[in-house]
Amino acid sequence: MPGTLQRPSSATLEPPVLMAGSPFTAVELQAMESDGVLHRLVGRVYVPAATRPTPELRARALSAALTPRVRERTVAGRMTAAWILGCAPPPELPVMLVESTRRIGRLGTGDRLLVHEVSFGPFDILEIADLRVTSGLRTALDLSLHSEERLALPVLRRMLAHPALGLSVGLVDRGLAALPNQPNKQRARRLLERLS
């Protein structure tokens, strides 16, 4: 069962997430961005310029950009999860993970999305604003195993410094040790040594 991050109980506290057609056109949204009224948060999703991004707002923005089928069957992961957690820049192409027992070909993801087949453990997934996202530890493990070192290092440093995530180099190292054989496990250990 996924964990849940707490969010404000009243939907009226949540800033709007805007995309073309709801209720403005793409041209109108771009004009409001040029005027400083809106800020593009991810992809073609905008929020009011004065809004402070939170994990919940980032999750809502990404969720708005996904088809319902993709939202239901995938989990935001890797750099996309790190962005939602507030530790990475917005992704150019969101990375969504799908359980390897599901069929990717039937997702109908459209364009502007990367999908990877993975296996999840019982504590690998959180729910943030109705979007499934990999946990801080799973995200750190995935970044150390699958991201280029020059991209992963600054993001992992921010994740380790983020008090709400409760991560340490030792915890991530123990997580790596618990994984079955992985092609990049030694490289990930060297990356963690640089972080410590």
Query: Cα dist. 160→3, 8, 42, 74, 87 in Å?
Result: 20, 25, 24, 25, 9
Whole-number pLDDT of residue 101: 77
Q: How many Cβ atoms are within 10 Å of 75's Cβ, its own excluded?
A: 24
Whole-number pLDDT of residue 196: 80
Whole-number pLDDT of residue 14: 85
CB 118 within 8 A of CB 100: yes
Q: What is the DSSP string of 32-81?
A: HHHTTSEEEEETTEEEETTPPP-HHHHHHHHHHHS-HHHHHH-EE-HHHH
CB 76 within 8 A of CB 87: no
Show the low-confidence residues of the chain (pLDDT under 70).
Answer: 1-12, 102-111
Whole-number pLDDT of residue 193: 93
Whole-number pLDDT of residue 168: 96
Structure tokens at 67: 């088809």
C-alpha to C-alpha distance for 24 and 177, rounded to whole angstroms? 50
pLDDT tens for residues 78-129?
A: 999 999 999 999 998 999 999 987 666 655 555 578 889 999 999 999 999 9
From the list 1, 117, 8, 19, the residue with the least C-alpha distance to 65 is 19
Whole-number pLDDT of residue 1: 42
Whole-number pLDDT of residue 41: 93
Whole-number pLDDT of residue 188: 93
Whole-number pLDDT of residue 5: 46
- pTM comes to 0.87
> On the CB side of 127, how many CA atoms lie within 13 Å of its CA?
8
